[in-house]
Structure formats: structure tokens, C-alpha cells
Structure 1
């Protein structure tokens, strides 16, 4: 089964050809990259004797596809070689002849003594430092006068506007927009990557409420609506504001399998709040019996838990849910 599924000659030939098709274009000074391509084509040449599907690489059209990956100066040299071979044999050079030519050119380009690769090591270091970005990567370019150059929108992949001005993005619901920003790991203050919103020094100003967030992330819902739709484990942007525990309203028939989250808020502008505080715990059946416990306030949790010994101290009944 393994031989049939993964050792199929057609699949192997397709894997070789797909890798050639997806090979990135080589920089005019990319000596190492040229050598890597030559090494891979030599492996294709070796496999050609066992996999007949690779014989298509001898075709001139396939050779033209590989030439599109090479620098212009190297393409010109191969063009001269092709003319010489055609004048002698009246046939287009074979894939083996092309690999032999490319291997020699890569050897010349990577000579440890006399090549530009060896004579200009500083350019080689800069070349290593510049990473090739994938087609999905989005960057903000800057012109010489310091002004930002319009780039592709990371949502609709169109040029001429940013994510904040994207109409298709604004047509989504606020939950979908927030989810997109979370998945892309963007800052909720400026919609850029690389930092969190609490560390953002370039917060946008909302055109609707004039607060420190992009207009496209403005949320008209009330706090209760946001809390009711907040997914498990998501972050809540509401900061604690009042140093007292809000008591939940009593219901006529409270469900037995529902937990209540108590939130601590604070009226003052001071941002120093406690995450562990002492509270008196009691049950509905015996409200006069109270137990002093420490409460851990976790703003990223949507469920309340209690220790088993605290339940026993309250003399109340419990059931696993």
C-alpha cells in the first residue's frame, strides 16, 4: 500500500515538477541560490533514468519555464549555448546538457577565491539578511520622502487602501472583524502586527466615539451584549472600574447547571487593581451561613468555579455538570 500510494512514479514525477514550478526567481547576485537550483536539477536528472515521467524536462517549453527562474545574465549565456548546439546537431539541447551548463555556471559563481561571492562578503551578508517574502506577506513600503506608499489590503488583497478603509471588511459584522484581527495577530490600536495594543504608541482615533481604536473596530453593543457573545477564552477589553462585587439578580427558577460570573469594577482612574481578594461566600439555601474565601478574578474566564471544601463548609448540595 505504501508503494502504491507514495511510490507511484507519476506522483514522484509530479512532485519534482511542482517543486521546479514553485522555485523562486533567483537574484542576479544570488550565487548560493543558483547553486541550490543546480543541485536540485541534478537530482532530477538522476531520477530521470528511473522515472519516465521526468523525460518531459527535455522539452524546450519546460526548459523555458526553468529559464524564467534564472537571472537575465545567465539566460543570455544559455541562449548562446543553445544556438551553438542547434547549429551543430540541429536539435534543442537535452535536459542533461542544460544541467551540465548550469552546474558549471554555479561553480563559477560560487568560487571561493575569485568570484564576486568571495570578493564582496559584505554584499553576501546583506543578501542573507534580506528574506524572500511569501506571496501572502503584506508590508508597508516607504518612499524616499518618508511618505507611505499604498500597498495591498490584507483583507481583500486589493491595492489603493488599507484595512481601515476596506469596504468589504466593513460589511462584515463586528464579531467577524474582531476575529479577523485576532487571527492575523494585529494590534487593536493601529491594526499593525508585531506588538500588542497595550504597547501601541500609534493608536488610531475612532471617528465615531473619538477613542483610541480604529473606526472599523468601533462596537455599538452594550457591555452586557458583548459579554453574552464573548467566546470562551477571549479577552475582554473592559477594564475593572468599581471596587465592589455586582450581585446577580435572583431568578424565579434558576437553572441548576448555570454558573454566574461576578465582575469587580472600580470608579477611580487608578489602574492598580487586585486579582485576588477575600470575599464572603454563601448559598441560596442557607444565606446566613458564610465562609471567608479568597476569590481569583480572571478576566479571561467565563465560568465560576469553587473548591469542594468550600461547598462542604457551606453545607450545601452540589452535583457534577
Structure 2
């Protein structure tokens, strides 16, 4: 083109493609907000980020659109790129600025703060305060831990792969040699045997709680059983041999069914079958009495009371009632998920959490406030385990005991978390292999065999109920996991939650589900 026309055209094209204020602003902001996270004590990276932000700050004087970097939301994104200890320092600096000037900290204050911190880290005399000897010795001591627990990872770092994924001949020999060295030095951290932790037979016999506590204490990753990182950062998760999910087999959690009503005495004895229920293995029958007493239950703020039987179970760490009793009391409660640990079983069940319930004796002159009560479809005992006055008439030493009888089912289980309800006021010891009696705040309860064992009865199925119930809210387990994976700041229920936190909790509460032993939360973002 003729220079008189070409030069103005070139300037126009340059302005259109590289001089548009909006494009320039978006390019600056995009790079500033997508900067990689800065590691702790990395002065050079912090200085580079501070220099770039200084350029953004200078550009703000000419481009009004750049003032969007001054918004608190964008400043928070920039702060997330900093190490945790610098975040804390900035929080203190921002509070000082607010108290001193009466205005919040601005973008240029943040830039000055980062420049000062970078200058401190790059100080030629005192900038590097790390103990390199200690760091080096710690690195050396950690080297054997990687091949000790997971041999394949060490072997593949030595093997040379072709483009097709095959191992070159000279690399195979090195791989086998490294594997032999690895096998010779493998040592289990649990039993000190010559095998890997994932293959330890002694560890597999332990309870899941014991295994989790051991891995946590020794600093092992819950994804690959190696030290040096947490499960949230694990990139080499093991595959479970039982459910094919991404976790070690020793941490597998079986899914089990919720509570089921116990079969009747006639069905169990005549069929000769064993009935499984939440407390463990149960053969139903009337040969043995449990601590079951008639009570009345009511809501603290209500006047309606319901007569029912209560099972006083010292083997349970929680208190339960049936859905039927909840409906009779006309109380709604809060829907939740709980983890039940019983004999040989761990299960997750849906439940309602009820508060403000009271239980009292039939006379109505004594009431005890119950702790949190969780609902279930049924209580793991039947009326066959309730002793009557006729049942104890064969035992003269119990002649002073008077048992109240009502026409009701067993809709309440009171656990050890309500000690006043289980507290013994008086005890009549057993005689001649008979039952013993305990007087509680609600009246007398009978424990033990109700009939003498005859030759004919010894051929029947034994009558046994084994109960040990432990209840934990899933919310508490999630908090424990958050505190373990993010130790920089412990979760505190007293901390104020932002609007985003409330939105996330609402989404998580409505979408959480258990699938193949893992919990999934569906994002609504």
C-alpha cells in the first residue's frame, strides 16, 4: 500500500488488536488471577508475582477498567496464591489498615505488602533461615519409605519405556534388579516382617478403627499406604480387591442393610435358623430376660405422653426410638445420616435426630431428659425378653420385686449416654442360676434366665442376645477427616460461615450419598 494510506491502516489494526482497553484489562487480570500457587519460602516466585502485580497497579492509573482488581473478590483470589503463613500476615496487615485509616485495604496495599515480603525472603544475609542439614538428613531418612511400601513405583522410575509403552531390553534387567533389592529390604511398619504393609496378615485381622488410627499415627497416606503426603494429594491410589474402588483393601468398608425386625420365637426355634439383627447374632425366645421396663415418654414442650417399654442397654453408646414413637409424639426432628457399629458390622443408615424428649416412670413423678435420640424402624429386642410377675414367681428370693405390665411394644432403647436412666438403685443378687433384679428410677428390671434348664430344653437352640451398638453422626466423621487432611486450621463450629459456606453445606446435605463404600457429594455449581 501507499505509505500515506498504509501507515494509518497499520496503526488502526494495531489499535484494534492490541490497544483495546477491555482486551488489555482482561489479559492482565486473567494472568494475575490464574498465577500458580507460591510455595512457602519461595522468595523468587513471590518476587515475580509482586513485580507483575506492580505492573497491574501502574496500569490501573491509565485504564479505568483495571480497577476491578480492587474488588474484594479478586483480591481474595490473589491471596489464595500465597503460602498460609503469608495469608495470616496479610490478614493482620489488612486489619491494621482498617483500624488506622477507617477504610479497607486496597489492591495497592496488597502489592506493597507482597513486595515487602519478597524483599524479606530474598535478604542476602537472613533471607534463607532453613536448616539445610536437618532437611537433607530428613530427606535421606525418608528415601527407604517409598520402596518399602510400594515396590512398583520404584521399579517404573528405572525402567525405560518406548513410545509403544514396552520396556527396552536393557531396562528390563535394571527393573528386575531393583525389584530384587526392593524385596530384600521390605519391612512392614506394623509387625516388622519382611513384606509390604498392604500384605500384612496381622494388620488385616485388626478392626478398621485400629487400622485407621495406626495409619494416621505413623503418617501413612490413606490412598497408597506411603508416607510423605496426604490422601487428598495422592496420585497413586491403590485399587481395592473387593470393590475395585480407589482405596487400599485393608480400608474397605462393607455396606450392610438397616435394622430389620427380629423374627418371632416360634419361627426361629421351629426352623432352627439363626436371626441376624443390629446387635449381632440373636436366637429369639423367652428363656432370658433383659433390662426392659415400662415408661412414659413425652416432649419437653408438649403435654402428650406415650406409654411404652424401654430397653436399658449399657452396651449402646446412643439412645434410639422407633419411627412409630416419633409419630405418636408428633415430633419431626432433624433428618441425618448416622454410622452404626455393632457386633461385626458397620452400617450407614438414615435417621431423624430428636431433641427435647423426657422419659419417666409410670407414676409420672420423676422425669429424666434424654440426650439426642435417633430413630430406627425397630428396637433390637422383642417382648419375649420382657419379664412378667408370673415369670419370677418360681424364684422365692425375688418375692419383694413387683413388676409393672402394660399393653405396649418396645419403642425406646436408652444407652449409656443417659447414666441416670441406667443407674442401679438396688440390686438383688442371683441365686441357683436364676435371674437378678435391679431397681432403677423407673422401677424393677429383671436380668438373666427365667426357666431352669431341663434335659428336654438342652436340645433346643440356646437363647442369646448380643448387643453392642455405637453411633456416630457422619457430620462428626467428616469434620475429623477435614481436620486430618487440612491441619493448617482446625474446624470449629463456632466459626462464622460465609454465604458460600452455607450454600455448599445445603448442597452437600441434600446430595450426599453412599456408593460402593464411598461418599459422593453432587456439586450444583
TM-score normalised by the chain length of structure 1: 0.41
TM-score normalised by the chain length of structure 2: 0.26
Q: Which structure has the larger Rg over C-alpha atoms?
A: 2
Higher relative contact order (CA 8 A, sep 6+): 2
Higher strand share: 2
